[in-house]
Amino acid sequence: MSIFVSKDTRLLIQGITGRDGSFHARQMLAYGTTVVAGVTPGKGGQTFEGTVPVFDTVADAVRETRANASVIYVPAPFAASAIFEAADARLPLVVCITEGVPVLDMTKVIPFVREQGTRLIGPNCPGLISPGQSKVGIIPGNICQPGAIGVVSRSGTLTYEIIHQLSTQGYGQSTCVGIGGDPLIGTNFIDCLAAFEADPETRAVVLIGEIGGSDEQQAAEFVKAKMQKPVVGFIAGQTAPPGRRMGHAGAIISGAGGTAADKMQALERAGIAVMKRPVDVVPLLRERRVQSPSRGNRC
Amino acid sequence: MNLHEFQAREILRRHGIPVPDGEVVTTPTAARAAAERLGGAVVVKAQVHAGGRGKAGGVKLAANPVEAEAVAGRILGMQIKGLTVHKVLVAPAAEIASESYVGIIVDRVSQRPVLMVSAAGGIDIEEVATRTPEKIHRLAIDPRYGLLAHQALGLGFALYRDVAPARAAAAIMQKLYAAAYDAGASLAEINPLITTPDGKVVALDAKIAVDDNELERRPEIAALRDTTAEAPSEVQAREAGLTFIKLEGTVGCCVNGAGLAMATMDLVKYYGGDPANFLDIGGSSNPQKVVSALQIISADTSVRAILFNIFGGITRCDDVANGIVQATGQFSLTIPIVIRLTGTNEQEAVRILTNAGFSALTDMDEAVKQAVAAVKGAAA
């Protein structure tokens, strides 16, 4: 099992013929993701790599292929429009990889996707992967192993670092979700924590946060009140100066509560084991008596 | 991107918000001429991207043009929070009956633009927010309908008891909301919004921060960027497509990805070192970006060792390796360099680096320890 994506995911790729979209479409196909359609306006009727039909609109693609998820690689000025289109076609899952989507665009996108019943992941995120089943986005498949650890993170390469620590020490993952580093995102920590708590295959969760906002504090309260499964946390940005944006649009210490120290305290108060270094992840899981899964558990 | 006060005032004025006259000048004599044209007493205000200008001595009253020249002479060239003042705004000294605060930000929790107003405006608004948060009224706006007239008027009455100024403030709030979306602002505020003794409501000072992601589609806003008001190394990095923030330490860091860059800095600190910078080379890094990154880091004379931490995904390790080799061919590095790379095309990268006489590590923890040790070795 897994959360959000699985063997049953029938993926549509918006921007499949673009530079990034085509590169990652090939990676996802090679991983074994069921890619059923691509969308690029004006290129309807073509096929991608001889196997994936390309459509002019998301509505056409959904009607013809029964796609049930979309991943978006279109450039930032068109990304909000692509999310609107996917949600308008009532796709249950939309993953927006695109970086640089204006926040004011997202103030209009988010109420729309909620009303349509679409789960949006991102924008400005690496996407998600259920190892051995489906990869939707850009997380490198070769660093992941099927298993029982759920991973949820606001960052990209830092997530890879932690997945790498897990996989090389025998801790496979049920699903790894990169929720994105922007201030306004479709799916937050709590959504993922709730899904991992309900997923029978997930035994423990690794939560990777960073400075800015108060999402980690809210996640901590949720863990304390609603979760039975052990959670291990990491917060990046202890050395970040206040008032400066550290790369991610959301990673800025502004006002009280946004510092790494505040967030680490909030996690610890909720009973979450907090890593001081990325290499601490497996020792902390062992401390919480989370065993690496038996060999028979591989997908 | 932060706008200067005079730029923010101009945007508000174009949206029909009452803003006093004013002129931006760069020399004391021009300040005197501006004061003569404006007539009467003026206020001379430093135009820098730093809060607390008034408390730092960057805002001064002048009773006449001669005084304006003298005051401008003291403010121009002064340092406020490490930034040099190159421009001053000369504006008529306003008579103030009351000061309030009006601001719009995009709120992460409600995921909406939020209008905040307070009758206790002025330079101590941050203190009001921490000590007496109940004095700040907040309203989350549904962007599909915008700020509705009755909502704005309700907040107008939170500022003023009388209907005339309440209506005037409500109109200003609606115009400020329109201006925020129009400029692509992540923050737009008027502080103070004043009433004059004859009952007019006027925006005396304005601050707008534009979402960097809006600049591509708003060339007229992007053109407002004042590179003289920013640290030169950060301007150079932005032009090279890098995100760079200078810090006070001695370990220069070059990392792909913002989260990993922060985690690397934290680990440097954990092992007893101090990071000299935040530097994210971004996703698809061509070798040239790496060359620029090394130029920027090695130009900082406090850097004693350079640490590369690359987790290849979209970023190819061989691109980074090629960049390091190219850079060290173009200019000689006199300080130790510790390179960690793993992921996409790692083996190719190790071959390139080994042939050029570098060694490469695959473990982040080990690399950070070595970089910190290199700095301590250099100091000993």
Q: Are both A117 and A145 inside the same structural domain?
A: no
**pLDDT for res B376:** 87
Pairing of strands A69-72, A119-121: unpaired
Q: What is the percentage of chain A residues whose pLDDT exceeds 70? A: 97
Mean pLDDT for A67-82 is: 96
DSSP label at A196? Answer: H
Which of these three, B222, B239, B271, is where a domain ends?
B222
Q: Are both B70 and B150 inside the same structural domain?
A: no
Q: Are both A177 and A265 inside the same structural domain?
A: yes
Q: Which residues of B touch A249 (CB under 8 A)?
A: 211-213
Q: Which residue of B has its CA nearest to A178?
A: B259
Q: Is the dihedral of CA A257, A261, A264, A266 positive or negative?
A: negative
Q: Is residue A74 part of a domain?
A: yes
The three-state secondary structure class of A61 is helix
**pLDDT for res A294:** 44
B70 φ/ψ angles, rounded to the nearest 5 degrees:
-65, -45
Q: Are both A111 and A188 inside the same structural domain?
A: no
Which of these three, A121, A153, A179, is where a domain ends?
A121
Q: Is residue A256 part of a domain?
A: yes
Query: What is the three-state SS of A104-140?
Result: HHHHHHHHHHHHHCCEEECCCCCEEEECCCEEEECCC
**pLDDT for res B238:** 86
Count of structural domains, chain A: 2
Q: Are both A217 and A275 inside the same structural domain?
A: yes
Q: Which of residues 5-24 of A touch B (CB under 8 A)?
A: none
Q: Is residue B6 part of a domain?
A: no
- Distance separating alpha carbons of residues A32 and A28, to the nearest angstrom: 6
B54-105: pLDDT as tens digits: 888 999 999 999 999 999 999 999 998 778 899 999 999 989 999 999 999 9
Q: Is the pLDDT of residue B353 over 70?
A: yes
Mean pLDDT for A188-217 is: 96
B263 φ/ψ angles, rounded to the nearest 5 degrees:
-65, -35
Q: Which of residues 76-115 of B touch A (CB under 8 A)?
A: 106, 108-109, 111-113
Q: Is residue A299 part of a domain?
A: no
Distance from CA of B110 to the nearest CA of A (A): 9
Q: Which residues of B touch A125 (CB under 8 A)?
A: none
pTM, to two decimals: 0.92
Which of these three, B41, B65, B92, is where a domain ends?
B92
- Is residue A293 within 8 Å of residue A282, measured between CB atoms? no
Q: Is the pLDDT of residue B147 over 50?
A: yes
Q: Which residues of B touch A108 (CB under 8 A)?
A: 143-144
> How many other C-beta atoms can be found within 10 angstroms of the C-beta atom of residue B26?
14
Q: Is residue B11 part of a domain?
A: no
**Interface test mutation site (partner A, options B114, B116, B189, B262, max chain A beta carbons within 10 A):** B262
Q: Are both A98 and A220 inside the same structural domain?
A: no
Q: Is A164 a catalytic residue?
A: no
Q: Are both B85 and B134 inside the same structural domain?
A: no
Confidence of residue A209 (pLDDT cuts 50, 70, 90): very high
Q: Are both A180 and A268 inside the same structural domain?
A: yes
The alpha carbons of chain A give a radius of gyration, in whole angstroms, of 19
Q: Is residue A2 part of a domain?
A: no
Q: How far is CA B176 from the centre of its chain?
A: 21
Which of these three, A94, A121, A148, is where a domain ends?
A121
User: For the ranges A271-280, B201-210, B278-287, which has the lowest average pLDDT?
Assistant: B278-287
Q: Please give the mean pLDDT across all residues of chain A.
A: 94
Q: Any CB–CB contact under 8 A between A69 and chain B? A: no
Q: Taking Cα atoms as reference points, which of B267, B339, B261, B242 lies closest to residue A158?
A: B261
- Distance separating alpha carbons of residues A62 and A81, to the nearest angstrom: 17
Q: Is the pLDDT of residue B272 over 70?
A: yes
B17-54: pLDDT as tens digits: 999 999 999 999 999 999 999 998 999 999 998 878 88
Confidence of residue A225 (pLDDT cuts 50, 70, 90): very high
Q: Which residue of B has its CA nearest to A258?
A: B108
What's the burial of A266, exposed, middle or buried (CB within 10 Å: 0-12/13-18/19+)?
buried
B292-346: pLDDT as tens digits: 999 999 999 999 999 999 998 888 899 999 999 999 999 888 899 999 999 988 9
B98-145: pLDDT as tens digits: 999 999 999 998 999 999 999 988 877 878 887 888 889 999 999 999
Q: What is the percentage of chain B residues whose pLDDT exceeds 90? A: 78
- Is residue A257 within 8 Å of residue A214, measured between CB atoms? yes
Distance from CA of B348 to the nearest CA of A (A): 17
CATH code at position A165: 3.40.50.261
Distance from CA of A231 to the nearest CA of B (A): 19
Q: Are both A88 and A193 inside the same structural domain?
A: no
Q: Is residue B339 part of a domain?
A: yes
Owning domain of residue A240: 139-291
Distance from CA of A286 to the nearest CA of B (A): 20
Q: Are both A280 and A222 inside the same structural domain?
A: yes
- Distance separating alpha carbons of residues A40 and A59, to the nearest angstrom: 12
Please name the residue that has the structure tokens 């101009």.
Answer: B10
Q: Is residue B7 part of a domain?
A: no
Q: Are both A103 and A146 inside the same structural domain?
A: no
**pLDDT for res A149:** 97
Q: Is the pLDDT of residue A160 over 50?
A: yes
Q: Is the pLDDT of residue A111 over 60?
A: yes
- Is residue A93 within 8 Å of residue A71, measured between CB atoms? no
Owning domain of residue B290: 231-379
Which of these three, B177, B196, B222, is where a domain ends?
B222
Task: Pick the more confident residue, B310 or B285.
Answer: B310
Count of structural domains, chain B: 3
CATH code at position B345: 3.40.50.261
Q: Are both A151 and A287 inside the same structural domain?
A: yes
Q: Is the pLDDT of residue B248 over 60?
A: yes
Q: Which of residues 333-362 of B touch A (CB under 8 A)?
A: 342-344
Pairing of strands B206-210, A35-39: unpaired
Which of B185, B186, B280 is nearest residue A247 as measured by Cβ atoms?
B280
Q: Are both B186 and B247 inside the same structural domain?
A: no
Q: Please give the mean pLDDT across all residues of chain B.
A: 93
Q: Which of residues 198-257 of B touch A (CB under 8 A)?
A: 211-214, 216-217, 243, 245, 247, 255-257
Q: Are both B279 and B370 inside the same structural domain?
A: yes
**pLDDT for res A295:** 42
Q: Is the pLDDT of residue A251 over 80?
A: no
Q: What is the ipTM of this complex?
A: 0.93
**pLDDT for res A5:** 98
**pLDDT for res A19:** 86
CATH code at position B78: 3.30.1490.20
Q: Are both B375 and B237 inside the same structural domain?
A: yes
Q: Which residue of B has its CA nearest to A114?
A: B111
